[in-house]
Each structure stands twice: as structure tokens, then as C-alpha cells.
Chains A and B, each alone.
Chain A
Amino acid sequence: MLLASAGNVLVWAVWMGAAFACLGSGIAVVSFSNPFFSALALIGNLASLAVLYLLLSAEFVAAAQVLVYGGAVMVMFLFVIGYIGPRQDSPWAGGPSWQVVGAVLAAGALFVEIVVVVGLKASGSLAHQAKIDSSFGSPSQIGRLFLTDHLLAFEVTSIVLLVAAVGGVILGHHSRRESAAGARALGVRETRPGQ
């Protein structure tokens, strides 16, 4: 029992650390003026979230989070931020005066509402947790679910990814005329691949 409670204390400690890291990095993302730092803060956020997923017995999702989000999405973000170049703006400036007040009120209201509801239900339906077995959250279970119960979601998601890839290519397509115009504006001769 002591070791069980020790395990519990450990879990609590890990949870506290991960949770605060999560919240802090979230605030950091929206507060930094330099987008590069914001992106780095987001990476921290993703990592702490992965820890929280582990605590919730979602091992596969945690791994996917780190690999997909951290390894792919954030890398892309950093690439683009680097490409765009240095840009700093004061975080809370501009816009109509009621925008700030309204935003704080709306976000605050959302947060308070959710917390209140959760608090109200904490002793009711949120008190009894389901019993799960050890294969819960394992890759085999995820794979089985994807290919049996949620096959449609699986397929549709893959189509969405395909569409996004196509969209990305089209958005990034450098038309000849544009590049020629750009080159003329800069006063250089347009270079073509291979020359």
C-alpha cells in the first residue's frame, strides 16, 4: 500500500509538472512577440501534453503526438518562420478598443463555464472510472479500432490529408509569369532550373 501510495504521489508529481509546463508554455505561445520563440514554446507544450497522454494510458497517441506534431508540423512552422524572416510586433496592440475586452471576457467565460460544469459533475458522473485492461491504448488496439469500427474515419482522414497535400503544392506553385515579373522587378535575369 505504501508503495501504491508512493506510486500515486509520483503520478501526482509528474502530473503537476506536466500540467504546469503545459499551461506555462501555452501562455508563452500567445505572449511572445517573436514568432520563433512562440513556435519553440509550442514544442514544449506538445511535449508536456505527450506526458499527460501517457498518464492517461494513451501510449500510441503520445508517440504520434511527438512524432507528427512535434516532428513534422512544428518543423514546418519553423521552416516558414525562418523563410518569412524576422518580424516582431507588439502582441496586444491594434484593433478596435472593445476587441481586447471582448476577447478576455469571451475566453474567460468559456474557461469558467467549463470549470464550473466539471466541478459540478466531479462528484457525479466523473467519479466512476471505467476499468481498462493493459492493452488499452496500445498500438494493436488502435490499429484494430481503425480498421474495424472506425474504418470510415480512417479512410476519410487519409483523403483529407491527400487534399491538403495537393493544396499545399498548388499554393506553393511558383508560376513562370510571377517569377519572371519578380525577376524583372529585381532587375535580374530569370534563372530556370538547370541553367
Chain B
Amino acid sequence: MIPFFLGEFYVGELGGVYIFAIAGVGLMLLVGYTGLISLGHAAFLGIGAYTNSVLLAQGVPFLITLPISGLFTAFCGVAIGLPTLRMSGLYLAIATLAFGSIVGTIFQKWSSVTGGFDGFAVPTPYVFGIPIEGANGVYYTSLAVLVFCIWLTANILRTPLGRAMVAIRDSEVSAQSMGINLAWYKSMAFAISAGMTGLAGALFAHYVRYLAPDAFEVLLSVQFVTIVFVGGLGSIHGAIFGAIFVRLLPQFIAIVRDDLPFNLGRTPGLEPALFGLILVLVILFQPMGIYGLWLKTRHWFQAFPFKRASGFRRQKSYAKSERLK
């Protein structure tokens, strides 16, 4: 609906928010529900983007390239999930970080396919003869894929698959004793998470319209992790709140920048610094992120005349350091 009464710029930005929300939902399954960390999701986004664009350039229709980029990225997710089965926390973060930079290098060096540093113009996709172009096209496609991913995630969470993920996050030893095959479910968590990020990547290609390897660097992975943490670990709402936040922060910085003193406003690296600072502050003071803040607000209104500070004390039990061990 929004495209009817908002300008093209805002519709484009919202499309970007949806794309990041898709990746955020994917990463949420991995980090928030399975308790595995990944600093390599920018690579998955890139794999999805390049798969989609390269296939489109070969003349494969968009309705086929989109699922294929999801499936192929899911396959790559298993490829990183399997060798890291026994890793967790910091070690897994480093392993996925390394994976990310390997994939980044492949994007740069494999110029016959990816176009290397020169980049790659993404062809316009057609669905039933209708071109998907401009801000509106990306907006509606991303919205549809986002709804699909949320539906998938909601189903996962109410069936044995999602419960197995939660079980692995909370106690591997008893998960195993309950009949959960750790290797299988961890790989599946990686596959599904990577697959959704791959879908986001395919759409991201159309959002940026011109692929270059430097779009998929570590900072992007950190942004995804920020989505998950700032939004609130362990909730789908959180992934969406987080995506809104992460996409709108740079816009906010761009607007505020002009009013800041010249030296501060033009400082390079202001954006990554702010991301880092916010991530740290959220983990310290609001472990359940924006979603937690929302729950608190709702709780306050529900209990209105009887506001109790202790009403939300249970969030402390969500100590995030514990989650990431």
C-alpha cells in the first residue's frame, strides 16, 4: 500500500528494510534460536546475489533463479555448517568470519563469472512478462519474500525442527538425550539461515542494480548481527525491528551529519563506530533489544495503575554471554 502515498525514495528505502529483514529473520533462526553465531552472512547474501544475477544474465527466468539462489546458498550454508559442527561462540565467529573473507576474495578474483572489481550490471527480471524494476518492483517482491520467510519461520518454530533448535541452544547434552541429532539440526539451522539470506541476496542484487565485491564485506555481516541483537534475540519481531533500525540509522546519520561540526560530521568510519557503540550499549542495558523494550511498554500499559519495576526482571535471565558460550 505504502508506494501509493510515499515518494520513490522512501519506497526504495523500505524495500531495503524488507531485504535486510529477510536476512535478519534467517540470522535470527541461527543466532537467536539455535545459539550459533555467524559473522559470514554477508557472504551468503553475496552468494545469493551473484547466483541470481549470473543465472538471470544467462536468460533463466526470475521465478526460477530466485528459488535457486536460495537453495544454492542453503547448500553453501551446509558447507560451512558441517566443518564447524563442534565449534561455538568465539571460535565459530572466527571460522565464519574467515569463510566470509574467502567468499569475498572469490567474488573479486573469479572475474569471468562475477566481473571482479569492475562489477556486474544486474539484468532486469521479468515475472510473467512484467518487468520488476524501480523502487516499487523491488518493494513488492521483497515484501512477498519477507512474508514467505516469516511464515516459514513461524512454522519451523511450532514444529519439532524449531524446538530442536531451541533445545540445542539451551543444552546440547540433554538435547542429544531427547533424541536430537546435533549434527543434522545444526547443519539444517545453517542451511535454512543461509537459504533465507540467499533469497535476500537475490533481491539485494535488484535493489543495488550493480554488483561489486566490496558490497559484501565484514561490515555488512556486523550489520546483520546488529539487526539480531538490537532487535532482540529469540523473536521474529526482533529481526524486523532490527532491520528497520539498521537501515534507518545510516539515513539518520546522513541527515544529522550536516548539522554536526564539520570535523565530526566528516569523520570517516562514523557509521561503523556508531553501530559498534549501539551494539555494546544494547547488550549491556537492553538484552532483549527493541522487542524487549516493546514488551516492557506493553506490559506497563497492561498493568497501568500498578506499575512494578520488578515486572520485567526475568529478562535478566537472558544473559547473552551465556547464550553465546
Are A and B part of the same complex?
A: no
Chain B residues engaging chain A, CB cutoff 8 angstroms: none
